Amino acid sequence: MTAATPTTTSSEAQAWLDADVALVEGVTSRAARTLRQALGIATVRDLLEHYPHQGRYRDIGEQVALSDAPLNEPVTIVGTVARWNVIRPRGRRLTIAKAQLVDDAGGRVEASFFNQEWRARQTPAGTRVAVSGTLERFRSALQLRNPKLVVLDEGEAPDEADRIQPTYPATEALPSARIARYATAALQGLGNLADYLPIELRRRHGLLDLDSALRRIHRPAGLDEVGPARDRLVYDELLSLQVGLQQRRYRLECEAVGLAQPPVPGGLAARFVAGLAFAPTGAQSRAFDGIGADLAAAKPMHRLLQGDVGSGKTLVAAWTMLCALDHGHQAVLMAPTEVLAEQHLRTLTALLAPLGVNAPTGPRLELLTGSTTRRKRRGLLAELAVGDVGLLIGTHAVLEDVVAFDDLGVVVIDEQHRFGVEHRTRLRDKRADQRSPDVLVMTATPIPRSLALTLYGDLDVTVLDELPPGRQEVRTKVLPSASPRRARLYDFVRERVAAGERAYVVCPLVSESEALDVAAAEEVHRHLSGDVFADLGVALVHGRLSGAERDAAMEAFRSGAAQVLVATTVIEVGVDVPEATIMIVEDADRFGISQLHQLRGRVGRGTARSYCVLFSSAPTDDEVDSPRLAAMSATTDGFKLAETDLELRGEGSLFDTRQSGLPDLKLAKLVRDFGWVVRSREDARELVAGDPELTGHPLLAAEVRRRYGDERLAALETG
């Protein structure tokens, strides 16, 4: 017996995928233009990757004779229209067109259509049709409400292959049914498509072959075929991404030479930890181990340090930077805002005081921001260039070309998602020789593990998943803005202030004009300082203040001269005043979950019980209906909140923030497909470790290149 001769060879099948969609049978040049403009579909591949909505396949039911038809289940009845009746119920703007159908065995059923009078003209009495819907009995008659109706030729039967109807993302000009026809035609042209996935991987996960997966996701013979088809295609998307990321990482590491700077026993880093007033958490100790091993290796470190607000990342950053000093190298920490950079300077100055930092014999720690005076800056640049300043903290200002180091060993980037790739690269290139410093990027924005593993496939990830002991959960309450309890809240603030505690009141920056937002914050400040808390100190910070004014306000709050701080979101991250125990957020609906989580993280940093009140713009309690605010009051776990956020906003929105190089995930949903994320990452690591260029799997190598050429991966790489 000979195998069936394929209509096309595998390379012809590949060429077909790359062909213009206008070549698909039935696609006119006008339709091709609409496909391209409305849906971004230019090639056959684009069309086949325009997948039906998940969970929206419709089983139109088996074709049955009316006499055997089950009630309340989807069925398809073939028959002839006997007559039409159009009814207009009195007093309602509605027409009901009712067709009497007689099936081949003489059974009768009434099909009713709402507001579709035209059906009577389009399929007049005598037309042979197939109607599909749920059969119901009303009084003694059988009926189908708003069934799907297909006109049949004489003697024609409905196509069994059409029984499961997919629903495609569609537009008015290109309805789903038309896209379904095009997809079917495109599949017919496909012929013999070779599978790029190594057979071992298919077997390992029990995956369908590519050809079947594509056919079944578009034209399943039964609903149970969709899931396995989707699994295969989801796996493909994630595997190619992971392989691409792993390959890129491999190439970078091959080329790049780093510095071996292992932790030194008895060195500054070791003395720093020994001199702390508290013991590092288990998570911090594990971070020291992981980072220490990276520092010791001669290849450059690329590590992400993820930790919820207050998990103690600053300590880990300080330790990492001191490791560089122990080898006579320098270290830089870059933060996204001046407030944050200044905060880091204060924290590190205090943390490193026992080491004699900035004392005549101790290490030098300096700050460089846009507000640094010219004179100060000139001296600082000279000292950096000769290595007299070992530790530099700064904003974007440290990226400038004039900032040259003598011997940069460690780069720490805080809140890395606020920087672009080019920033990380620019810091990495600040050595005079060809070697790369070790890079640690930190984020206090918890990213769900599923996402971290996908986006940061090229980074090692350390998670500080443990808060220092003694922290208490912040009690969170959502109130409508006009709540009568506001007065009681203000009394409560006064009580806590009397006990030595402090409160934040945050007003959002949201309108088109910053000036208007600042005016709103000023208004709140006037009201609170002049009226509600006339007897207390009420400070105000916002982005329009000069550095000196802002410092003065922050300092007043920190020292306790002001007990209430009215602020815009400039305090979102990093600000650390342990006495602050109350966080009030006005118009909380306007913030995203991660922002609210950051804001709430400003309190609960000491051991006193802390509170967060989120005012919603809803007028009454009953009308507060925000899933985000509900999530905020349900948990304080940043990773859980991040998962909720991911689900609420949809995954696309997260990738948007990365601006370029969106991963090509058409089907995969990271939260739901987390299992596949993990499996594909493991498989990719294994494949690339054994055969970095995939010479043993040329088809897969080509597929990865097609999906994730080097440029796209470079853009994907974290900043």
What 3-state class would DSSP assign to 110? strand
* Single-letter code of the amino acid located at 344: H
Q: Which does 543 bind (CB under 5 to 8 A by kind): Mg ion, ligand ADP, none?
A: none
Q: Of 106, 103, 111, 108, whose CA–CA distance to 79 is shortest?
A: 103
Query: Contact, 218 vs 167, CB < 8 A?
Result: no
What 3-state class would DSSP assign to 194? coil
Q: Which does 318 bind (CB under 5 to 8 A by kind): ligand ADP, Mg ion, none?
A: none
x/- map, 85-104, ligand ADP, by CB under 6 A: --------------------
148 DSSP β-pair partners: 132
Query: Contact, 633 vs 593, CB < 8 A?
Result: no
Kindly state the smallest distance separating residue 18's Cβ from ligand ADP, in Å. Answer: 48
Kindly state the smallest distance separating residue 623's Cβ from ligand ADP, in Å. Answer: 34
Q: Which of 388, 406, 514, 576 binds ligand ADP (CB under 6 A)?
A: 576
Helix extents (H) in 221-266: 226-255
137 DSSP β-pair partners: 142
CB atoms within 10 A of CB 387: 15
List Cβ neighbours of 167 (8 Å cut-off, separation of 6 or more).
52, 53, 56, 57, 58, 176
The span of 261-269, 279-287, 423-431, 627-635 binding ligand ADP (CB under 6 A) equals 279-287
What 3-state class would DSSP assign to 83? strand
Kindly state the smallest distance separating residue 251's Cβ from Mg ion, in Å. Answer: 34
Q: Which does 311 bind (CB under 5 to 8 A by kind): Mg ion, ligand ADP, none?
A: ligand ADP
Query: Contact, 193 vs 211, CB < 8 A?
Result: yes
**Burial environment of residue 323 by CB neighbours within 10 A (0 to 12, 13 to 18, 19 or more):** buried
Exposure b/e, 702-716, CB count within 10 A at least 16 = b:
ebbeebbeeebbeeb
Does position 307 bind ligand ADP by CB under 6 A?
A: yes
Kindly state the smallest distance separating residue 314's Cβ from ligand ADP, in Å. Answer: 3
- What the block records as the tokens of 328 is 């006579």
Nearest to ligand ADP of 428, 605 (CB atom):
605
Kindly state the smallest distance separating residue 444's Cβ from Mg ion, in Å. Answer: 7
Kindly state the smallest distance separating residue 36's Cβ from Mg ion, in Å. Answer: 48
Q: Which of 281, 563, 644, 680 binds ligand ADP (CB under 6 A)?
A: 281
Q: Of 632, 586, 629, whose CA–CA distance to 474 is shortest?
A: 632
Query: Contact, 365 vs 358, CB < 8 A?
Result: yes
Kindly state the smallest distance separating residue 503's Cβ from ligand ADP, in Å. Answer: 19
Kindly state the smallest distance separating residue 283's Cβ from ligand ADP, in Å. Answer: 9
Kindly state the smallest distance separating residue 509's Cβ from Mg ion, in Å. Answer: 22
Considering only residues 587 to 606 of the shown chain, the ones binding ligand ADP according to CB under 6 A are: 605
Q: Which does 263 bind (CB under 5 to 8 A by kind): Mg ion, ligand ADP, none?
A: none
DSSP code for 20: B
Considering only residues 437 to 456 of the shown chain, the ones binding ligand ADP according to CB under 6 A are: 444
Does position 310 bind ligand ADP by CB under 6 A?
A: yes
Does position 220 bind ligand ADP by CB under 6 A?
A: no
Nearest to Mg ion of 103, 308 (CB atom):
308
611 DSSP β-pair partners: 475, 582
Considering only residues 298 to 337 of the shown chain, the ones binding Mg ion according to CB under 5 A are: 314
- Angstrom CA distances, 293 to 261, 296, 323, 410, 436, stand at 9, 5, 12, 14, 16
Nearest to ligand ADP of 76, 314 (CB atom):
314
x/- map, 460-479, ligand ADP, by CB under 6 A: --------x-----------
Summarize as ranges the residues that interact with ligand ADP (CB under 6 A): 278, 280-281, 284, 307, 309-315, 444, 468, 576, 605
Summarize as ranges the residues that interact with Mg ion (CB under 5 A): 314
